[in-house]
Amino acid sequence: MDLSLPLRHWEMFLHGVWVSMTLTVLSVVIGFALALPGALAQQRRSRFAFLPRGYAYFFRGTPLLAQTFLIYYGLGQFEVVRESWAWVFLKEAWWCALIAFSLNSGAYQTEILRGAFAMTPKGELEGAKALGLSERQTTWLVLLPSSLRRAMPQYGNEVVFQLHSSVVASVITIQDILGAGRTLNARYYVAYEGFVTAAVLYMALTFLLVGLFRLLERRYLRHLLPPEELRKLQKAGAGAAAFGTARV
């Protein structure tokens, strides 16, 4: 293995990290916007709750690669699509990947949010009602803050999984981390360097994300910490600082 090879092309890999991270973060954010109405509809037992349920079932039951192919290769088959305004986006691999990843992540987040909503203690909602909060106020002031806290560990998993799933982008020519690795291997006719570098970078990003969510959980799920952990935190005097828990 020639380690100098990836080091000489660090800019390519750095760009890959940027592409992978932006795709991951954007798809989780857009996915949240897609998931929230559907999860709320299910929580309120709306007549249309079957729509988000079907959406989540379809996208969670099929591989992301096939979904991405369907959008990237499949949609271009229709002349209507090619002549519409949407073609500006749909002919670009990056937009197709973002659309596919967002739809996919949205499906998983629908389930995460639905589960978190369903676990809301009844007393919290009754309390909101007793205080005379409207349905909208209850949703934004009680249901969501409480559920998002509870969903935080699953959100950590979701982001890591979205990062790992984003390797599919390299299959449709996008120069993400793996794309950079494949380019390196092809250019120098080597077999290990590019893939090993990609593996190391994905691993590093995974650790980074896991660590970040651990910090967030320490802060937002502090009430669930075991007593001895909490005592340690208090001893460290970390209570006042927003992310002071990092030191422990």
Partner 1 sequence: MSRLLEYLPLLMGGALTTVALAVCSALLATTLGLLGAWGKVAGNGLARLAVRIYTTLGRGIPDLVLILLVYFGGQRLINDIGEGLGLPFIEISKFWAGVAAIGVLYGAYLTETFRGAWIAVPRGQAEAARALGMPLRGEFLRVTGPQALRHALPGYGNVWLVLVKSTAVVSVIGLDDLVGLADKAGKSTREPFLFFVVVLLVYLAITAVSDKLLARAERWANTGQDLGRGGGGPRAPAREAAA
Residues that bind partner 1 (CB under 8 A): 56-58, 60-67, 69-70, 73-78, 108, 111, 156-158, 160-161, 163-168, 170-171, 178, 181-182, 185, 191-192, 195-196, 198-199, 202-203, 206-207, 210
Q: State which residue, 38 or 181, has the beta carbon closest to partner 1.
A: 181
Identify the sign of the CA torsion 144, 146, 150, 153: positive
- Dihedral class, residue 226 (left if φ above 0, else alpha if ψ from -120 to 50, else beta): beta
- Dihedral class, residue 62 (left if φ above 0, else alpha if ψ from -120 to 50, else beta): beta
Contact 245, 230 (CB under 8 A): no
Q: State which residue, 207 or 243, has the beta carbon closest to partner 1.
A: 207
Minimum CB–partner distance for residue 133 and partner 1 (Å): 30
Minimum CB–partner distance for residue 231 and partner 1 (Å): 25
Residue 138 is encoded by which pair of tokens? 């209850």
Residue 32 is encoded by which pair of tokens? 């949240």
Nearest to 146 by CA among 122, 163, 170: 122
Q: State which residue, 89 or 140, has the beta carbon closest to partner 1.
A: 89
Minimum CB–partner distance for residue 157 and partner 1 (Å): 5
Contact 167, 129 (CB under 8 A): no
Minimum CB–partner distance for residue 233 and partner 1 (Å): 23
Q: State which residue, 49 or 65, has the beta carbon closest to partner 1.
A: 65
Minimum CB–partner distance for residue 131 and partner 1 (Å): 31
Q: State which residue, 22 or 138, has the beta carbon closest to partner 1.
A: 22
